[in-house]
Amino acid sequence: MQYILLIKGEVVEEKKGPEDRNSLFIRIVSGLTSVTTIIYLIIAVILIVLVGFSFYDVFLQILSLPQAGTLTDGILEVLHTILLSIIILELLDTVVIYFQTHQVQVRPILFAGLTAMIRRVLVFGVEKVEFLDLLTTVAVIAVLTAAIVLIGREKE
């Protein structure tokens, strides 16, 4: 609401009331929310495309299993790609939950991190690994698992 002081038909002073400041703030927040929604929509489209490519890669790897050096190496590659697909789906799930609740949920992100660490452990089966690297990975898996359990308990 604007307050205008008129003296003999001329505007002398114009003041903005608290309602005007609130409506400006609401318009700014609404604009920022729209920008955030557009960014999340773009991320969702990119993730959908990536998961499509990932599943296509899994399909190609399964078809090429007979030509793999060893069957075990081929299977590990397929599992590696499947776990990557799961990570992408967990991130997409986070975006979908944001659209439903307008809040970023931590649990799917923790699951994506846990899946990434499991993927890393699969690589350990193929490569030589330093003890400290292995210990760090186990510690991260333990922390992620504990966080998932604690967040699950908070919701109950």
Q: State the pLDDT at residue 130.
A: 84
Would you say residue 156 has pLDDT above 70? no
Is residue 145 very low, low, confident or very high in pLDDT (cuts 50, 70, 90)?
very high
| Average per-residue pLDDT for the chain | 82
Q: Is residue 31 part of a domain?
A: no
Within a domain: 121: yes
pLDDT tens-digit map of 15-69:
555 566 678 888 888 888 889 889 999 999 999 999 999 999 999 999 998 887 8
62 found inside a domain: yes
How far is 80 from 72, CA to CA, in rounded Å?
A: 12
Report how far apart, in Å, the C-alpha atoms of 52 and of each of 44, 46, 68 are: 12, 10, 23
Q: Is residue 48 part of a domain?
A: yes
Residue 126: pLDDT band with limits 50, 70, 90: low
In a domain, 35, yes or no: no
In a domain, 73, yes or no: yes
Element (H, E) at 75: helix 71-101
- Token output for 104: 């970023």
Q: Which amino acid makes up residue 38?
A: I
Task: For residue 63, give Cα distances in angstroms to 58, 76, 77, 125.
Answer: 9, 14, 12, 23
Number of domains in the chain: 1
Q: What is the pLDDT of residue 4?
A: 47
Place 6 in a pLDDT band, splitting at 50, 70 and 90: very low
Residue 117 belongs to some domain of the structure:
yes
* Residue of 121, 104, 116, 111 lying closest to 144 (CA atoms): 111
Look at residue 18 and tell me if it is in a domain.
no
DSSP 126: T
Domain that holds residue 131: 40-155
